[in-house]
Structure 1
């Protein structure tokens, strides 16, 4: 029997199964490929402070980074790309690289470095999902990581400060969204009638921008003009995540199951009682079917022979 797979990731909100872009990519791909994955929202403690999410754990194997996790799932025969041609596979890699290079830096800036969004949405959310005193440390740690990542990838001289690269970040991100919108067109998915890894990456990167209640985001305003991309996200949520509702607590579920079992037993007893009463009524003498006795004259006439 194959070992159970556990996915450690940030939890969900804003109508999304996860608010974390890369976690959302893996969650979507697991749904598309039919992989059964147990979701474990990350619990930030001192021990897991340096943990990297998403992280897929299967037996003694631990896999991090979305691309590595998707490769691991494919090796386990959960492959959402099995119908893609070589050309489509190459296009997938190119578009994923485009997302990571052009869109991801602007998303990091939108959620973590924009002062208004950080103060009113990002920091309060991540702080509320971290225990004291880590609720003070985790948001600032992520913000610093986002700043370093942007400057590392986009801070070429002479653009060496966030304020200097900000305009270029959003210009590239809007261009990336335009290309994705043009490529998607009126189709439900990027390749054919079934979602693939490219759909998972686009959904993971675009859906939080679409659903988050941001105070200040020109990128979100631009996205809302691209109706096919927002419809793409809404359709995936409806088709693959609408049934992912939080379950009842075990005690409540056990009580409901016990009550249902008692109700079933009661109905069965009543059904048996009704059947026995019906049998007794049918076998009682006063309810036997009596055939009427023929009149004597009719019997004589019937038994006599004509002269």
Structure 2
């Protein structure tokens, strides 16, 4: 009985953005972390946070006095590795092809799904994922603000928009072809066992197939590779719909003894449920404190953004030319 109480106390809670499009969470970073934990068979409880859609700390995972945020140490998956909790990639760090494949999935495909969600012709998917619970005006302005940020990140301007779109889809198509060849008829991309690459890529495929509209160029290119679609459907059924089952146990090798003691109960469910109150950690208190200022900062951002967007172009040009149009 005492052992069960201790295990319950050490159970992990994964905090993500809310479910959407038939997925446990439709945020790319949240879904890849969710799948990674499923691959690792690390028991966790699932909780949702839709109050602060712009927070870069989500997703995060917590257990007792342990918290790992998305915006620290290279992300939650990297934190779990560094802290000795779970690492599916131990065997692949010295494999050049694995390293290059992960870089391709994170960059080329990461840019492609980001482009489709925020810059593509149909923006409804991103709004449903990130801003469903906000009043329409605030949600719309935050969406436009994020679109501006994504364009800056991808280097998209009015002058090169068509060229960048073509380049993004070209790279995505090359990536799909390479991954299709790499996968073949295997269950996973490397050594027929899961790694973080599979978690990130599977999240990408599921979002592309289920969250993007049928008119999506990215979705159309993905559907050209039948084995990638089959790969996603099989793993979704095995790890997401059915949960961690006995049939998936053979894919995962035990963690080092140092991390085994930090696991939760083996029969823990990933469905949301209430937790007993516990003392907040310093990291949690910091997160809560920052969260209090979210509404104020976003309202200020909305006002500044609207001011910037409504500013006449003529006014900007006059200011730029002022003092330089006269010959002394």
TM-score, normalised to structure 1, is: 0.67
Counterpart residue number, 2:131: 127
Q: In 2, Cα distance between the equivalents of 1:246 and 1:61? A: 18
Cα shift at 1:108: 1.4
Q: In 2, Cα distance between the equivalents of 1:99 and 1:174? A: 12
Over alpha carbons, which structure has the higher Rg? 1
Q: In 2, Cα distance between the equivalents of 1:202 and 1:73? A: 19
Contact 2:105 2:201 in 1 (8 A): yes
Cα shift at 1:42: 1.9
Matched, 1:55 2:55: no
Counterpart residue number, 1:78: 86
Q: For structure 2, which runs of at least 5 residues remain unmatched after alignment? A: 1-5, 244-268, 275-328
Q: In 1, Cα distance between the equivalents of 2:272 and 2:16? A: 21
How do 1:196-215 and structure 2 match up within 5 A? Answer: 196-215=195-214
Cα shift at 1:32: 0.9
Counterpart residue number, 1:93: 99
CA deviations on 1:49-83 (whole Å, 9 max, x unpaired) are 4443222334253332595312322334322234x
Which one has the bigger helix percentage? 1
Alignment coverage as a number of residue pairs: 239
Q: In 1, Cα distance between the equivalents of 2:69 and 2:272? A: 30
Q: In 2, Cα distance between the equivalents of 1:5 and 1:108? A: 29
Q: In 2, Cα distance between the equivalents of 1:172 and 1:148? A: 19
CA deviations on 1:226-250 (whole Å, 9 max, x unpaired) are 0111111111110011146996998
Counterpart residue number, 2:143: 139
Q: In 2, Cα distance between the equivalents of 1:105 and 1:10? A: 20
Counterpart residue number, 2:246: none
Q: In 1, Cα distance between the equivalents of 2:97 and 2:179? A: 12
**3-state SS of 1:106 partner:** helix
Matched, 1:15 2:15: no
Cα shift at 1:160: 5.8
Cα shift at 1:125: 4.8
TM-score, normalised to structure 2, is: 0.64
Contact 1:5 1:37 in 2 (8 A): yes
Q: In 2, Cα distance between the equivalents of 1:195 and 1:32? A: 6
Q: In 2, Cα distance between the equivalents of 1:10 and 1:205? A: 16
Counterpart residue number, 2:75: 68
Counterpart residue number, 2:318: none
Matched, 1:231 2:230: yes
Q: In 2, Cα distance between the equivalents of 1:61 and 1:50? A: 16
Cα shift at 1:175: 0.6
Matched, 1:108 2:102: no
Cα shift at 1:173: 0.9
Counterpart residue number, 1:272: none
Counterpart residue number, 2:259: none
**3-state SS of 1:93 partner:** helix
